[in-house]
A and B are shown apart, each in its own frame.
Chain A
Amino acid sequence: MDAAGRDLRRVLLVTLAGDLGFTLLIPIFYLRTLGIVWSDDRLLVVELLLPLSLLKAFVLALPLRRLLQPIARWRRSLPDGDADGALLRRACRAIFLIPRRGTLVYAATWAATYFALTLLLRFPIPDLIPLAPRAMVAGALFSVTLFAAAVPFSYGVLTALLAPVAAELSLAARVRGVPLQGRQLSLRARLIAFGLCLTLAPTTWMSGVAYMAGVPTATIALSAGLVLVWGPACAALLAWAIAGPIGRVAELVRALAERGEVDPSERAPIFFLDEVGRLAEGVNEMVDALDQSRHRIRDQAEVERRRAAELQAVLDHMVEAVLVCDRERLRLANRAALEQLGLATVEEARERWRDLVARLTTPGGSGIPREVQPLSRALGGETLTEEQCMVTPRDEERRLRVTAAPIRDGQGAVVGAVMVSRDVTELRALDRLKEQFIRVAAHELKTPVTVMKGYAQLVLRSASSLAPSQGAALEAINRGSDRIDAIVRDLLDVSQLYLGRWQLASEELDLAAVTRSAVDRSAARSSGRVRLGRAESARVLGDPRRLDEVHARLIDNALKFSPRGDDVEVSLTIEDAAAVVAVRDAGVGIPPDKGPRIFEPFYRAHTDTPHDHGGIGAGLYICKEIVERHGGAIWFASEEGKGSVFSFRLPLKI
């Protein structure tokens, strides 16, 4: 049996055990009060009392058990047997009934037992003198005494024993939302009733004793009446003094609860520094604390409002369109987003936004299924940036750069998504224009360069008829043309790279052959300053022309920045399933602060230094792009004044 069952059994046992004690004691008082002195008579009374008491215990136990039944049933149903809360409701009703009904039953059984005994003793019983009429009155008074004495005792015991169960039930009822039932019995009424009982018990008993001793009835009635008025009157005064302050505190708490907010000017008065006084004090402190927290909440709300206003202002004046949604609905759209969607209000957008977002298409113009739209993917936890197109309500096609990302709660779960889109239509148009311009300009430049170069070479062919200075001049024209051509090519490459329009061939090749031919060619042009170190065979997938270009550019740089004429060494080794080409020079090196930027387009580490050898600063950028598009990486190590090693790595073909 669980703890709950034990609680209830204890109620029964304690009540019956206390009762047993009285069962043994009370007969002594009874016999003395009624003046039964002969030992045989006493024995007979006890013999009569025995069955009566057993009957009384039985009559008491039955209703008490029945009263406790609903509570026991509810406890047995826990934790989940009581689906609709009916058992809980019944148990709550019972817990408020038990002290009152139990007390009445208990007091009534005592009174009834002794009243019945007195009646029995009135009849002629063999060997026993029937009770005199006077003793009958005393016996009746004794029954009243027992009733009055049993009421406070029983009520006290029952309420004390059932208090933990009552507390538990009230909490359970609160959790389940079951209202507490039961007739109100005020503290005041109970105090007066107990006052009456406490005076009634000794008064009736003493009255019975006095009556039996022959005191005149008028005297007894007068003194008993006085006591019976005085007792409850004092109880009423006490009840007023005790219940009054509690009532005030209760009213205050109820008012606070009903209003839902506190008024710090409201205070519970403290009459005495007793338990009630401490209760009032506690309530006053609670009012203060609530008032403070109300202020805190109000300040916090103000901060929140200001933050929201700031956010709204920022969002509304952004060029980018911002949409924020959770899993069901659109939560926020800024002004730019509304303009982009052709709507006036956020409410309008809330109703239609899914249709509107569905207008996004790929740059090719094909629709995007809902599950792969940026916001859907962001809700799936992905962060993405891509370009998409959208036909606006005014039928203009706009190109958007869309970024979408998930919004996560404290536990990291995705609760929403944000999409920021920027209109890059003009930017892309400008890019196209720029690219077209560079392409046309390059093409147009090439014709005069071809002419210059061609004729210079043509005249150089008949070298015998030229003066040496003329020959040198023509060589210079030839070199100049080559440089213009190189610049034009770089410009074209960078422009195409920038737009992502580069296409690389992908064929299987031996990188060593590319390295060797690039070294041989550079060696021939630089009177043998370029040497090939280790060159292991390395099968890679790639574009031979572009890979050759990477070699040539790195070797050219190495030669260019080795003004003392030191040799340049090129090697090809295999490291970790990758081919690594290293171009080592003993030249001027790269200043540490310039290092991080040298792979950026048009960045020139040696601008305005004695080592500025011209060029537009596109070479290393182009090398990096070529290497990275082959799935490789490029890097360098350098010490200023001592030289540099530029290396790149390409994955081997498996």
Chain B
Amino acid sequence: MPSRVLVVEDEEDIAVLVALLLRDRGMEVATAADGRAALAEVERAMPDLILLDMKMPVMDGPAFAQAFRARWGRAAPLVAFTAAEDADRRAAAIDADASLGKPFDLPQLVALVERFVKR
């Protein structure tokens, strides 16, 4: 059974990029364009890892993180995914397990994801 990664990202190009990369690494990838769609996706099936963009329409990253932690606690690790300068601080603010600043190098992303999910 492959690991399941949920990519919550409103920028389609980036979502597709991450999906392509991780699928190439043998993972199953679901995408959601905002926090609300992501909650629905989690409801459907709990992923092994959630990559969460911060700035999104409808429901942004912090709001999703709050809702997720309230309902499912630490059922899946959260990786904050942001273009803001202070990625670490933002990640800490929403109680994320790790953070990744944009733009990122692909090997960096892969290494981070693989820290949380087995191949």
Closest to B12 in A: A451
Chain B's nearest CB lies how many Å from the CB of A342? 43
Complex CA–CA separation, A385 to B104 (angstroms): 43
Q: Which of A443-460 contact B (CB under 8 A)?
A: 443, 446-447, 449-451, 453-455, 457-458
Chain A positions within 8 Å of B17 at CB level: 451, 454-455, 458
Chain A contact surface mostly? helix
Chain B's nearest CB lies how many Å from the CB of A499? 13
Does A481 belong to the interface (CB within 8 Å)? yes
Does A489 belong to the interface (CB within 8 Å)? yes
Chain A positions within 8 Å of B85 at CB level: 442, 489, 492, 496
Does A461 belong to the interface (CB within 8 Å)? yes
Complex CA–CA separation, A451 to B85 (angstroms): 18
Find out whether the CB atom of A457 lies under 8 angstroms from the CB atom of B105: yes
Chain B's nearest CB lies how many Å from the CB of A463? 13
Closest to A489 in B: B85
Complex CA–CA separation, A99 to B59 (angstroms): 116
Does B84 belong to the interface (CB within 8 Å)? yes
Find out whether the CB atom of A450 lies under 8 angstroms from the CB atom of B104: yes
Does B20 belong to the interface (CB within 8 Å)? yes
Q: Which of B11, B20, B24, B105 is the one whose CB lies under 8 Å from A451?
A: B11
Find out whether the CB atom of B14 lies under 8 angstroms from the CB atom of A454: yes
Complex CA–CA separation, A485 to B102 (angstroms): 9
Q: Which of A450, A458, A461, A496 is the one whose CB lies under 8 Å from B103?
A: A450
Find out whether the CB atom of B105 lies under 8 angstroms from the CB atom of A447: no
Find out whether the CB atom of B83 lies under 8 angstroms from the CB atom of A447: yes
Find out whether the CB atom of A458 lies under 8 angstroms from the CB atom of B21: yes
Given the interface pairs A451-B13, A455-B17, the reply to whether A446 lies near B106 with Cβ below 8 Å is no
Interface string of A495-512 (1 = CB under 8 A from B): 010000000000000000
Q: Which of B13, B24, B84, B106 is the one whose CB lies under 8 Å from A443?
A: B84
Interface string of B77-117 (1 = CB under 8 A from A): 00000011100000000000000001111100000000000
Complex CA–CA separation, A451 to B24 (angstroms): 17
Find out whether the CB atom of A447 lies under 8 angstroms from the CB atom of B21: no
Find out whether the CB atom of B102 lies under 8 angstroms from the CB atom of A446: yes
Find out whether the CB atom of B14 lies under 8 angstroms from the CB atom of A450: yes
Closest to A443 in B: B83
Does B36 belong to the interface (CB within 8 Å)? no
Find out whether the CB atom of B14 lies under 8 angstroms from the CB atom of A447: yes
Q: How many residues of A contact B (CB 8 A)?
A: 19
Task: Among B11, B13, B55, B83, find the residue whose CB has the most chain A CB atoms closer than 10 A.
Answer: B83
Closest to A462 in B: B24
Q: Which of B9-56 contact A (CB under 8 A)?
A: 11, 13-14, 17-18, 20-21, 24, 55
Task: Among A449, A457, A489, find the residue whose CB has the most chain B CB atoms closer than 10 A.
Answer: A457
Find out whether the CB atom of B106 lies under 8 angstroms from the CB atom of A447: no
Number of A-B contacts (CB under 8 A): 50
Find out whether the CB atom of B106 lies under 8 angstroms from the CB atom of A485: no
Given the interface pairs A443-B83, A446-B83, A492-B85, the reply to whether A454 lies near B106 with Cβ below 8 Å is yes
Complex CA–CA separation, A457 to B103 (angstroms): 12
Chain A positions within 8 Å of B18 at CB level: 454
Find out whether the CB atom of A450 lies under 8 angstroms from the CB atom of B105: no
Given the interface pairs A443-B83, A455-B17, the reply to whether A450 lies near B102 with Cβ below 8 Å is yes
Complex CA–CA separation, A447 to B105 (angstroms): 13
Find out whether the CB atom of A443 lies under 8 angstroms from the CB atom of B103: no
Chain B positions within 8 Å of A450 at CB level: 11, 14, 83, 102-104
Q: Which of A31-51 contact B (CB under 8 A)?
A: none
Complex CA–CA separation, A130 to B47 (angstroms): 165
Chain A positions within 8 Å of B11 at CB level: 447, 450-451
Chain B positions within 8 Å of A443 at CB level: 55, 83-84
Find out whether the CB atom of A454 lies under 8 angstroms from the CB atom of B103: yes
Closest to B53 in A: A447
Chain A's nearest CB lies how many Å from the CB of B16? 9
Complex CA–CA separation, A567 to B95 (angstroms): 44
Chain B's nearest CB lies how many Å from the CB of A438? 11
Given the interface pairs A443-B83, A447-B83, the reply to whether A485 lies near B55 with Cβ below 8 Å is no
Find out whether the CB atom of A458 lies under 8 angstroms from the CB atom of B14: no
Find out whether the CB atom of A449 lies under 8 angstroms from the CB atom of B106: no
Chain A positions within 8 Å of B14 at CB level: 447, 450-451, 454
Chain A positions within 8 Å of B83 at CB level: 442-443, 446-447, 450
Find out whether the CB atom of B20 lies under 8 angstroms from the CB atom of A458: yes
Complex CA–CA separation, A492 to B83 (angstroms): 12
Closest to A478 in B: B105
Complex CA–CA separation, A482 to B104 (angstroms): 9
Q: Which of B20, B24, B102, B104 is the one whose CB lies under 8 Å from A447?
A: B102
Closest to A446 in B: B83
Interface string of A456-477 (1 = CB under 8 A from B): 0110010000000000000000
Chain A positions within 8 Å of B104 at CB level: 450, 453-454
Find out whether the CB atom of A481 lies under 8 angstroms from the CB atom of B106: no
Find out whether the CB atom of A481 lies under 8 angstroms from the CB atom of B21: no
Complex CA–CA separation, A457 to B13 (angstroms): 14
Closest to B24 in A: A461
Find out whether the CB atom of B103 lies under 8 angstroms from the CB atom of A453: yes
Find out whether the CB atom of A485 lies under 8 angstroms from the CB atom of B103: yes
Chain B positions within 8 Å of A451 at CB level: 11, 13-14, 17
Chain A's nearest CB lies how many Å from the CB of B47? 21
Complex CA–CA separation, A521 to B20 (angstroms): 30
Task: Among A449, A458, A492, find the residue whose CB has the most chain B CB atoms closer than 10 A.
Answer: A458
Chain A's nearest CB lies how many Å from the CB of B54? 10
Chain B positions within 8 Å of A481 at CB level: 103
Chain B's nearest CB lies how many Å from the CB of A332? 48
Complex CA–CA separation, A485 to B103 (angstroms): 7
Chain A positions within 8 Å of B21 at CB level: 454, 458
Task: Among A454, A461, A496, find the residue whose CB has the most chain B CB atoms closer than 10 A.
Answer: A454
- Which residues of A line the B interface, CB within 8 A? 442-443, 446-447, 449-451, 453-455, 457-458, 461, 481-482, 485, 489, 492, 496
- Which residues of B line the A interface, CB within 8 A? 11, 13-14, 17-18, 20-21, 24, 55, 83-85, 102-106
6 A-B contact pairs sorted by A residue (CB < 8 Å): A446-B103, A447-B102, A450-B14, A450-B83, A451-B11, A454-B103
Known: A447-B14, A449-B103, A453-B103. 11 other contacts (CB 8 A): A443-B83, A447-B11, A447-B83, A447-B102, A449-B102, A453-B105, A454-B14, A454-B21, A457-B106, A461-B106, A485-B103
A-B residue pairs, 8 tightest by C-beta: A446-B83, A450-B103, A454-B17, A457-B106, A451-B13, A450-B102, A449-B103, A453-B103
